[in-house]
């Protein structure tokens, strides 16, 4: 198809034609086009349907403030909803679909909503869908969501990569219009490290959209020259296609660079987008201004747009949005649209100027004191109705109308730390207040300096000040000559009408009527207005509508605009994709696994792994013919208890503690005593929180007079270390004690079972007989001459050792242990068998260490020494915590050995109702004991120690089970500990 | 946020773990203090809208505990000290 509305000029490359499709129709555009400019060039004005009424809509802007022209870009897994056609850079093969319409954009069945608009006013949902409450989630909301919606997701995984990056600079310049370019040039020439970021793909800002000259060049040529010079400076980083979306604390800015969005698919090795965190000493906000419309009846038809956008399409992209156009304005800037378009040969039918008096435009029908009061055209503008100063009404046939109600300085980033902009009557707009984020300097149009000269000057002066502040001397700059027209505006917030609808916020279908209704129902504060009418919500965040809404409310309440309130903005400035925020932390990379030293060997054996913290540990190791997990686990337990089993326990935290005060330090962080521990011995330690609850447990060995090795649980390895550093630095700063985490330095294996000693003796170089290496012994040994550590400790209740070798020998060690164990039928067991054996032995683990339990609850009350001051000891003795009838750890077995037990069951007396007041405690962990041949469990029972032998019930209302049980000692196996000491 | 570490210079707050009120340094002696004093120490905190001295731990760094003086309203940081120095200045030793 031909580009019927393409006119001369513009910064597009007419030698490069690009083909693209919109709703299945193929069109062509040029390099340098946006999707919106290319569609307009092809005579397509209708690009979307409105949110609530499904009204036909076209673009009203030429930038990121666009509320209407939202499309689904690309197809398949790369489909992206709600992209603004006004900023989508055209590429060859681009595919876009309109959204929020069915079955097609030109015939949308949901447009029936528009006929019933009297029902769909502000507050409609609140008032209509109130009753019955249960209907909201199930009936009302799904229907409303289907009818009123934005784009849809592909529901396919995004095939592209996203990155995160960090940048540092002296000065970040946000926006590359006249003020931003001048600021970057001034600072760049002075030698500052400068980053210049602009959301557009072509730098220059409004200079590209205007016919105003700078120096003796066109604005666009001057901008191109400055961009070229900046690009040649090694201390300046140019970042087009980069939106600075947030101002954060201490000079940090968030930005998204659309690295590949202008390509059909990203180049190999490149991300689609990069989220940058930019660390700055200063930032200059040169984000320009955003034009606002003047609402009038039916002001939302495709073809009606902002006057500045109409002229941007003509000047930058060589596109006439219509062949016959008119302009509706309350200020001088709107007049430029008429003169620019006339020069381009477009038929300017009339300028409707709300102001009376002043000079008339030459050669154009200039109606002063007039208003546009209505429009026509089902899918696009065909005519407007104009009322003259004298009240005469006439209709004018036009295809496009440019509307200018004045310009709002783009203050968004200045209010990210809650600074409220201030009102300026001369501009009829809000400008940044002086309490903008520290180090952020608004300049140019963003500061309310709306002429080209003022913008250039503001940028240069601000940059020179930054150069001086940062100690780079005085910067020199020459200001090129440019226009310096004052702002000439007479506010005219909306065209009054009794019946029709005049849109303020086109994205959310908020009209002047809705604001009046909000006022009538007393939602007059700005915050209420927003929430009652949805003004300023969704993807555009009211960039064109917010100030208008406030102005209408001000008029209704008889207050001034600043009295009515201000609107402030939060990050992000424009929507940021979750992909960019997530970066590479996605799927498996969101939480990478840590692998144990035996992982390779275990994988070769077909082990089943389980995530424990960030680690992958062997859960069980199935042998040929085993189809049920219990078969493997039962075998591992029985083989260990019968002969010997090997288990990788590397994941336990290991902390080396050294210094002459190491023993004293341990006495304070453990509830029990370690200073008295003999060298070459280990001891079980119980660590409390300051509130008296058990924090962690583990075995700590004394390797020398001033050297200990602590172990922690896998889950708390990091937090225990942090806590020890806290105690060492904040509480007892002069203790001579040094600590370092060695969790990753040692591969550690447990060897347990009656034949554990025989197996290990084959491997280690020293005599480890019971006499030479007794129960709870610890020491440095060697394995084939290599340094190792041996601890005679047991979690399983069997004769057991833990042997540690430097991590790089971990793989060799597991293979050596398995080889040496062959003659004993040794097994390698996983975390399930480990759990079975510790419950059989009555040891607490994660489920019992729940952060709400004391040593006394766990049956370890005697370990808490009252003779010394240790963390948590005092608080653990509070009256309620030492009640005689408090919870105690007990063992549980079913009266009928064939019956299983359920973890999480609650203890109830026989005959008691299953209600909270009869709750006597709960069952913390449960296993099947292959040794005993029935289920066993541990649990916390009120006054439990005194109730051993009692029969009661374990009730689980969720699982629907009610089992008769007997309370027993938690030590199911070898209560005297003879096996350990063998 | 950026925390100006007394030894390592300006570091991103992401490298740190936050604990809370630096009053935690003033731990009563467990053998001589009463339950009341410990109850206050463990459970009661000021929650000022304004200047707050708080403990941060440089976990992804040199493992220093720091006392950071931060305005909770503006996030302005006006002082960063090694917690060890603060503890000594408050009479803590062994």
Tokens 């056609």 sit on residue: A85
pLDDT at A54: 87
Closest by CA to B75, choosing from A438, A242, A548, is: A438
CB-CB neighbors (< 8 A) of A874 in chain B: 30, 33, 35, 38
Residue B76: its chain A contacts at CB < 8 A? 438
Nearest to A774 by CA among A755, A791, A749, A754: A791
Pairs of residues, one from chain A and one from chain B, whose beta carbons lie less than 8 Å apart: 78
Q: How far is A644 from chain B (nearest CA, A)?
A: 40
Interatomic CA distance for residues A378 and A503, integer angstroms: 16
Contacts of A868 in chain B (CB under 8 A): 31
Phi, psi (degrees; rounded to nearest 5) at A477 = -150, 150
Contact list, B14 vs chain A (CB under 8 Å):
none
Considering only the beta carbons, identify the residue of A252, A690, A730 that sits closest to B65: A730
At A415, give phi and psi (nearest 5°). Answer: -100, 10
Contact call for B2 and A875, based on CB within 8 A: no
CB contact under 8 A, A725 and B55: no
Nearest to A731 among B27, B74, B77 (CB): B27
What is the per-residue DSSP string for chain B? -EEEETTTEEEEGGG-EEEEEGGGGSPPPTTTS-HHHHHHHHH-----SSEEEEEEE-TTTT--EEEEEEETTT--EEEEEEHHHHHHHTT---
Q: Answer yes or no: are the C-beta atoms of A811 and A597 closer than 8 Å.
A: yes
Predicted pLDDT of residue A127: 64
User: Which pairs from A431-437 meet CB under 8 Å and 24+ separation?
Assistant: A432/A285, A436/A285, A437/A247, A437/A413
- Alpha-carbon gap, residue A671 to A694, rounded angstroms: 9
Question: Which residue of B lies nearest to A418 if distances are taken between CA atoms?
Answer: B74
Are the Cβ atoms of B84 and A733 closer than 8 angstroms? Answer: yes
pLDDT of residue A126: 63
The answer to whether residue A667 neighbours chain B at the CB level (below 8 Å) is: no
Q: What fold is seen in the domain B2-89? A: Folate-binding fold (3.30.2270)
* pLDDT tens figures, B2-53: 999 999 999 999 999 999 999 999 999 999 998 999 999 999 999 999 999 9
Q: Which residue stretches of chain A have pLDDT < 50?
A: 1
The structure tokens 């030479």 sit at A772
pLDDT of residue A782: 97
Asked if A417's CB is within 8 angstroms of B31's CB, the reply is no
Q: How far apart are CA A406 and CA A429, in angstroms?
A: 8
pLDDT at A568: 87
A718 neighbourhood in chain B, CB within 8 Å? 59
**Helices first, then strands: H and E counts in chain B:** 2, 6
CA dist A50 and A71 (Å) reads 12
A483 interface with B at CB cutoff 8 Å: no
Q: How many CB atoms lie within 10 A of CB B72?
A: 13
Chain B positions touching A248 (Cβ under 8 A) are 1
Identify whether the C-beta of residue A238 lies closer than 8 Å to the C-beta of residue A230.
yes
Give the pLDDT score at B62: 97
Provide the pLDDT for residue A136.
60
CB pair distance less than 8 Å for A734 and B88 = yes
Residue-range domain boundaries for chain B: 2-89
**CA of B49 to nearest chain A CA: how many angstroms apart?**
15
CA-CA distance, A562 to B13, in Å (whole number)?
37
B46-79: pLDDT as tens digits: 999 999 999 999 999 999 999 999 999 999 999 9
Where on the phi/psi map is residue A814: left (φ > 0), alpha (ψ -120 to 50), or beta? alpha
- Please answer whether residues A19 and A30 qualify as being in contact, where contact means their C-beta atoms are separated by less than 8 angstroms: no
Domains of chain A: 1-152 (3.10.20.440), 162-289+409-469 (3.50.50.60), 293-360+373-405 (3.50.50.60), 490-585 (1.10.10), 602-651+745-837 (3.30.1360.120), 653-735 (3.30.70.1400), 883-982 (2.40.30.110)
Using alpha carbons, list the distances in angstroms from residue A981 to A29, A763, A803, A841.
86, 21, 17, 14
Mutate to test the interface with A, among B20, B38, B82 (most CBs of A within 10 A): B38
Cβ distance A103 to A79 under 8 Å? no
A691 in contact with B at a CB cutoff of 8 Å? yes
- What integer pLDDT is reported at residue A137 of this predicted model? 64
Q: What is the ipTM of this complex?
A: 0.99
- Does A734 contact B at CB distance below 8 Å? yes
> Which element (helix H / strand E) includes A466?
helix A452-469
pLDDT of residue A142: 61
């Amino acid at each position: 198809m031909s580009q019927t509305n393409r006119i001369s000029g513009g910064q597009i490359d007419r030698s490069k034609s690009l083909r693209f499709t919109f709703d299945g129709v193929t069109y062509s555009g040029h390099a340098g086009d946006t999707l919106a400019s290319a569609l307009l060039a092809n005579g397509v004005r209708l690009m979307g349907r409105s949110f609530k009424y499904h009204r036909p809509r076209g673009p009203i802007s030429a930038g990121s403030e666009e509320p209407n022209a939202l499309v689904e870009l690309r197809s398949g897994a790369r489909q992206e909803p709600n992209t603004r056609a006004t900023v989508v850079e055209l590429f060859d093969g681009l595919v876009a679909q309109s959204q929020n319409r069915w079955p097609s954009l030109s015939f949308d069945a949901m447009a029936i909503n528009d006929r019933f608009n009297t029902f769909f006013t502000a507050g409609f949902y609140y008032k209509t869908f109130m009753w019955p409450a249960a209907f909201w989630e199930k009936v009302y909301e799904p229907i409303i969501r289907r009818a009123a919606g934005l784009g849809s997701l592909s529901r396919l995984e995004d095939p592209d990569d996203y990155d995160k990056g960090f940048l540092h600079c002296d000065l970040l310049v946000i926006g590359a219009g006249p003020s931003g370019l001048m600021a970057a040039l001034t600072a760049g020439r002075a030698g500052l490290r400068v980053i210049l970021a602009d959301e557009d793909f072509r730098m220059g800002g409004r200079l590209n959209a205007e016919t105003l000259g700078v120096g003796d060049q066109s604005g666009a040529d001057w901008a191109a020259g400055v961009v070229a010079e900046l690009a040649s400076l090694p201390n300046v980083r140019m970042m087009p296609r980069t939106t600075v979306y947030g101002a954060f604390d201490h000079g940090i800015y968030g930005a998204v660079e659309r690295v590949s969005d202008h390509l059909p698919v990203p180049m190999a090795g490149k991300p689609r987008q990069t989220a940058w965190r930019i660390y700055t000493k200063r930032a200059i906000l040169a984000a320009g201004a955003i034009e606002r419309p003047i609402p009038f009846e039916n002001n939302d038809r495709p073809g009606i747009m902002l006057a500045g956008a109409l002229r941007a399409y003509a000047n930058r992209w060589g596109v006439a949005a219509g062949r016959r156009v008119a302009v509706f304005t309350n200020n001088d800037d709107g007049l430029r649209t008429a003169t620019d378009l006339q020069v381009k040969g477009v038929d300017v039918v009339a300028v409707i100027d709300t102001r009376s008096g002043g000079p008339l435009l030459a050669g154009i029908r200039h109606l002063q004191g007039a208003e546009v009061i209505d429009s026509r055209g089902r899918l696009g503008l065909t005519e407007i109705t104009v009322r003259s100063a004298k009240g005469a009404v006439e209709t004018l046939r036009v295809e496009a109308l440019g509307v200018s109600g004045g310009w709002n300085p783009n203050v968004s980033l200045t209010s990210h730390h809650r600074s409220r902009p201030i009102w300026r009557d001369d501009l009829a707009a809000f400008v940044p207040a002086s309490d903008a984020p520290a180090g952020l300097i608004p300049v140019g149009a963003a500061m309310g300096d709306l002429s080209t000269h003022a913008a250039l000057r503001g940028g240069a002066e601000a940059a020179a000040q930054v150069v001086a502040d940062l100690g780079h001397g005085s910067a020199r700059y020459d200001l090129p000559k440019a226009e310096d027209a004052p702002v000439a505006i007479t506010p005219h917030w909306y065209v009054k009408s009794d019946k029709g609808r005049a849109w303020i916020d086109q994205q959310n279908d908020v009209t002047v009527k809705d604001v009046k209704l909000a006022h009538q129902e007393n939602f007059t504060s700005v915050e209420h207005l927003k929430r009652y009418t949805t003004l300023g919500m969704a993807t555009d965040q009211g960039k064109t509508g917010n100030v208008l809404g406030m102005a209408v409310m001000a008029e209704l309440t008889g207050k001034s605009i600043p009295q009515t309130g201000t609107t402030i903005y939060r990050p992000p400035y424009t929507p940021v994709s979750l992909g960019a925020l997530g970066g590479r932390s996605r799927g498996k990379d969101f939480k990478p696994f840590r692998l144990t030293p035996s992982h390779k060997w275990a994988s070769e054996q077909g082990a089943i792994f389980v995530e424990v913290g960030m680690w992958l540990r062997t859960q069980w190791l199935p042998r040929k013919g085993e189809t049920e997990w219990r078969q493997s686990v039962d075998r591992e337990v029985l083989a260990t208890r019968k002969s010997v089993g090997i288990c990788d326990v590397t994941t336990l935290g290991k902390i080396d503690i050294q210094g002459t005060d190491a023993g004293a330090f341990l006495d304070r962080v453990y509830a029990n005593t370690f200073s008295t521990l003999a060298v070459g011995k280990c001891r079980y330690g119980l660590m409390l929180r300051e509130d008296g609850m058990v924090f962690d447990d583990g075995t700590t060995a004394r390797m020398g007079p001033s050297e200990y090795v602590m172990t922690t649980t896998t889950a708390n390895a990091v937090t225990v270390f942090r806590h020890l550093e806290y105690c060492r630095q904040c509480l007892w700063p002069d203790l001579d004690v040094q600590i370092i985490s060695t969790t990753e330095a040692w591969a550690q294996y447990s060897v347990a079972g009656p034949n554990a000693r025989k197996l290990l003796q084959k491997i280690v170089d020293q005599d480890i007989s019971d006499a030479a290496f007794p129960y709870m012994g610890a020491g440095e040994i060697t394995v084939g001459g290599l340094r190792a550590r041996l601890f005679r400790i047991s979690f399983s209740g069997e004769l057991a050792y833990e042997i540690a070798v430097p991590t790089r020998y971990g793989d060799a060690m597991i293979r050596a242990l398995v080889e040496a164990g062959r003659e004993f039928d040794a097994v390698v067991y996983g975390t399930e068998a480990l759990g079975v054996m510790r419950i059989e032995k009555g040891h607490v683990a994660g489920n019992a260490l729940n952060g709400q339990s004391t040593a006394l609850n766990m049956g370890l009350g005697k370990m808490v020494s009252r003779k010394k001051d240790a963390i948590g000891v005092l608080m653990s003795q509070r009256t309620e915590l030492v009640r005689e009838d408090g919870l105690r750890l007990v063992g549980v077995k079913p009266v009928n050995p064939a019956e299983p037990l359920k973890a999480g069951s609650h203890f109830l007396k026989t005959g008691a109702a299953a209600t909270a007041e009869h709750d006597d405690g709960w069952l913390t962990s449960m296993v099947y004991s292959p040794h005993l041949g029935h289920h066993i469990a541990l649990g916390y029972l009120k006054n439990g120690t005194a109730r051993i032998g009692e029969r009661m019930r374990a009730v689980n209302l969720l699982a629907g089970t009610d089992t008769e049980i007997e309370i027993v000692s938690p030590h199911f196996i070898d209560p005297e500990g003879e096996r350990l000491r063998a | 946020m950026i925390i100006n570490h007394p030894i390592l210079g300006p570091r991103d707050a992401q490298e740190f773990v936050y604990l809370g009120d630096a009053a935690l340094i003033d731990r009563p002696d467990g053998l001589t203090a009463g339950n009341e004093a410990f109850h206050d120490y463990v459970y009661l905190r000021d929650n000022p809208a304004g200047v707050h001295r708080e403990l941060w731990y440089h976990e992804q760094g040199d493992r220093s505990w720091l006392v950071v003086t931060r305005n909770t309203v503006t996030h302005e940081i006006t002082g960063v000290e090694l917690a060890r120095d603060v503890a000594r200045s408050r009479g803590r030793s062994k």
